[in-house]
Amino acid sequence: MIMDDEEMVREVVQEILFRRGYEVLSAKDGHEALELYQEAKEAGAPIDLIIMDLTIPGGMGGKDAVEKIHELDPQAKVIVSSGYSNDPVMANFGEYGFLGAMVKPFQMQELVEIISKIIAS
């Protein structure tokens, strides 16, 4: 799943990952991501990985959403994404419950590599 407030980011990431054989859901904020995650879990088709935008203006961003996701599933695999590379969450992503961090704009190869690494772990 990709969670980002920018529709273009969601569409581009979704297309890149679809071409690599992944099925991708998208959410515009943390509330929608939680809802989709819960629905997928209940349907017996759990989400393997979530990429969450750290900052969602007017909505729940990655820092709060990752906590709620981990309440639903402590083993959830979540990557944080942000254009603010100097944010403390980006520098210390593990302390906030994330398994990886990607600074926007990220390259396609970087995206595929981190996803492959985390899913395999």
Could you state, in order of their start, the residue ranges of all structural domains in the chain?
A: 2-120
Q: What percent of the chain has pLDDT over 70?
A: 100
* Mean pLDDT for the chain overall: 94
Model pLDDT, residue 106? 85
For tokens 């704009």, the residue is 105
Sorting pLDDT into bands at 50, 70 and 90, what band is 85?
confident
The 10s digit of each residue's pLDDT in 5-42 is: 999 999 999 999 999 999 999 999 999 999 999 999 99
| Residues sharing a CB contact under 8 Å with residue 60, sequence separation 6 or more, in sequence order | 29, 30, 31, 34, 68
CATH class of 2-120: alpha beta
User: Minimal CA–CA distance to 66: which of 97, 101, 102?
Assistant: 97
